[in-house]
Amino acid sequence: MDSSRYEISTTRLESFIWISKEVNVDVEAVSRHSFFRMRFTPLLPLRRWLNGIRIHNARTARMICRVIPDRCPFERTVTAFGRPIFRIPPLCKLNPLYEELVDLRFRALCYLADECGEDVSVYFSCPKW
């Protein structure tokens, strides 16, 4: 009873692992390639600044919630004589700072709800039915 029932025999394990000995990858050569060394991110400082904003008072949080809309303001359905002609899709996701702005608005709403105890439903626009 020396052997445990959870032991795996090596012959059984080798049948599940396949290692190709013909492929040689030079890891240093791949890491020296210019594509892996440098990425062009001109908006990175602005993204870091937006992510670094801390909300410490209710006045700033309210202003952020009013300035950053809760839905895309460009989304429209153009109608003529009561019939829809065409629809403009939401274009906000094309904004390279969209995620950071949505996150900042969410942090402001959380501050107002958790720290100040305000009703944040006033900062959401009503859907048009």
Sketch the domain layout of the chain as residue ranges. 10-123
96 three-state secondary structure: coil
Q: Are strands 83-88 and 76-80 parallel, antiparallel or unpaired?
A: antiparallel
pLDDT tens for the chain, 129 residues long, are 555 555 544 444 444 445 455 556 565 665 565 555 556 788 899 999 999 999 999 999 999 999 999 888 888 899 999 999 999 888 888 889 999 999 999 999 999 999 999 999 988 876 554
The DSSP secondary structure of 8-44, one letter per residue, reads: --HHHHHTT----SS----HHHHHHSHHHH----TTH
pTM of the model: 0.64
How far apart CA 120 and CA 112 sit, in angstroms, is 7
Please state, in angstroms and rounded to a whole number, the distance separating the CA atoms of residues 110 and 54. Answer: 12
